[in-house]
Structure 1
Amino acid sequence: MNLDELVNSVPEIKLRENLSRWVREWKQDDKDIETLAYLIGKWHGNVWFQDTDSSNKFHSEFQNFKSAAIDNIGGLTLNERLYWFGLFEVWEGGNEITQNRLRSKLRANA
């Protein structure tokens, strides 16, 4: 499950839209993946799902995403990083400055 799928897994429309806004802003700024993990954790800790099972499921899915995409970032290719974080379109449509920003965001500077 990549970042966009994680956002779309939130069953409540208002919560999903709110998280989507946070993620969209992160995709456009210069903050890295550690900040993203912090933002999602903070978001989840400050919202109320109508159903505890849905909240627990989201938490579990987030932990799986974090483990695969963030904690394991050093073992991923640039294309895998772009997939995990839903940034292919930004990369393809971006100029050199945008691509360098994404490399930095995804810790792919080498």
Structure 2
Amino acid sequence: MHTNNMLDISMNLDELVNSVPEIDLRENLSRRIGEWKQDGKDIEVLAYLIGEWHGNFWFEDTDASNKFHSEFQNFKNAAIDNVGGLTLNERLYWFGLFEVWESGNETTHKRLRSKLRANA
């Protein structure tokens, strides 16, 4: 079966962070994403956080910056803008939250459902 949608070509959140070629920038973004994974803010805040981060930090290589921007837009289109069409497991995958879910209690699960807009 062949599908031709954005889900086939986009990176998940952890892969997006790891795609940043400059170590200092990658570590800074990774720290911010780690904080987001632990707080109560939802995916809309995540989109803003990443966009703001990219706008305030300068890549040494313009092509790398443009590539990151393109990959972020693909991620945003597939995971954030399309979140309503995703199962909870798909949401946990896209946002790199499987481990948090697995090690969490009901309070953690409730927070993650809210964060990922999966309050059914």
Unaligned ranges ≥5, structure 2: 1-10
- For 1:53-108, what per-residue CA distance to the aligned partner results, in whole angstroms no more than 9, with x for missing partners? 00000000000000000000000000000000000000000000000000000000
Correspondences of 1:86-101 after superposition (within 5 Å): 86-101=96-111
Q: Which residue of 2 aligns with 1:80?
A: 90
Q: Which residue of 2 aligns with 1:10?
A: 20
Correspondences of 1:1-110 after superposition (within 5 Å): 1-110=11-120
Q: How many residues align?
A: 110
TM-score calculated relative to the size of structure 2: 0.91
Aligned counterparts of 1:74 and 1:49: Cα–Cα separation in 2? 33
Task: Flag as ranges the 4+ runs of structure 1 deviating above 6 A.
Answer: none
User: How many percent of aligned residue pairs carry the same amino acid?
Assistant: 85
Aligned counterparts of 1:31 and 1:25: Cα–Cα separation in 2? 10
Deviation at 1:8, TM superposition (A): 0.1
1:48 is paired with a residue of what secondary structure? coil
The AA in structure 1 aligned to 2:75 is F
